Chain A
Amino acid sequence: MISKTSFLKILFVALIAGFLFPAAPFAGEPEAPFPTFGSGAVEVRLYTDYFCPPCRALEPEVEPVLKKLLRKKTIRLTLVDVPHNPNSPLYARYFLYSLAKRQDVEHAIHVRNILFEAAARKDSNAKEQMESLLKSRGIAYESRDTKSVFNRYNALIKEDRIEATPTCVIIKGDKREKSIGRPDIVSALKKLQ
């Protein structure tokens, strides 16, 4: 049995340790950046999953349209990675890590393309593989805390009730337009041009 003195000694040491290393157990990494680009009046939320073939097919079609709309400052674009596949969170995490180094839409789309290719090959399903993939493609990244971004993703997925990918939600004032599937998304975005 621990004596009262021993207990107080242990308590004292624990308190000192707590004062000396207060941040140790709580010191997380800095938060990951939220993938929003542009400052236009129209909000565009693009929901995709790296493992969804129609999302992969959509990317080259919407890329030029989105870039044009961003250049014209028509839209504010949010890219939401939907965790449809068990490996999707890993991909989403490294996408955010790469944005921590450089957050512009050109870079974001470039990294997304790399991740879409990797998901199609199904050869980067572990942390080490993902890191070697990004290194091999010259993509700098920095480990960040993604919890708050994932929580915001969850809130958006619930708010827009995302039941399929790809889905695009366009918010213009009070009007909210939801398009599901490649053809509808492309035509909805082209209408904004």
Chain B
Amino acid sequence: MTWRKAVNISLPLIGLGVVIFYQLCDTACSALQGALLGVDLKVLGILFMTVLLAIVPLQSSRFSSLAGHLRTVLLAGALGGEVMLVRFQIMQETYCPFCLAFGLCIVLLFAAHFPRMNGYAAIVAFFAGVGVFVVGFTGSVLPLYG
């Protein structure tokens, strides 16, 4: 197994574990919540990491090129989204260790694949990710009655 394949499997698994652990809440449940276009970010995080894992076997099939482009778009888009999520946490002065750990998984995955990425596709996907989060992200730090 190449180191890149090991990264492709281990980091999404860590990301999935982080989201699931965040949902379980051990000694306290965080009120920090976020949604993209109305969908809970925890759900999106699980879906995202599952898709990345599903791409792994495609890498050694005849769809390897398609899988590579899909991974580029997903990782660059997610990186753009993460920039906005970290910005939200800085602005609210509230930091969520689990969210930051999930973001770190994305950064590491992106870094691992960056040399092989199509630069233009990555840039477009990155800014698309930023744009989608600018338009569709809603977050709350304090749980309040409506």
- List residues of chain A with CB under 8 Å of any chain B CB: 49, 52-55, 82-84, 88-89, 92, 150-151, 153-154, 157-158, 161-167, 180-183
Contacts and interface: CB of A to CB of B under 8 A. Distances in A.
Looking at B30, B32, B144, the one whose CB has the most chain A CB atoms below 10 A away is B144
Contacts of B30: 163-164
A54 B145 CA distance: 21
Contact of B29 (A54, A92, A154): A54
Interface of B: 24-32, 94, 141-146
A91 to B, nearest CB: 12
Contacts of B145: 83, 89, 92, 150-151, 153-154
3 closest A-B pairs by beta carbon, nearest first, are A181-B27, A150-B145, A181-B28
B29 A162 contact: no
A54 B143 contact: no
A162 B28 contact: no
Nearest to A89: B145
A178 B51 CA distance: 41
Contacts of A83: 143-145
Given A163-B32, A163-B94, A183 B143 contact: no
Nearest to A164: B28
A151 B145 CA distance: 7
Given A84-B31, A163-B30, A163-B31, A54 B25 contact: yes
A83 B28 CA distance: 14
B25 A162 contact: no
A112 to B, nearest CB: 17
Contacts of A82: 31, 143
B27 A183 contact: yes
Looking at A53, A182, A183, the one whose CB has the most chain B CB atoms below 10 A away is A53
Contacts of B94: 163
9 contacts: A54-B26, A54-B27, A55-B29, A83-B145, A88-B143, A161-B142, A163-B30, A163-B141, A165-B29
A92 B146 CA distance: 13
Contacts of A84: 29, 31, 143
Nearest to A82: B143
Contacts of A157: 142-144
Contacts of A166: 28
Looking at B26, B94, B141, B142, the one whose CB has the most chain A CB atoms below 10 A away is B142
Contacts of B26: 54
Nearest to B95: A163
A52 B29 contact: yes
Contacts of B24: 53
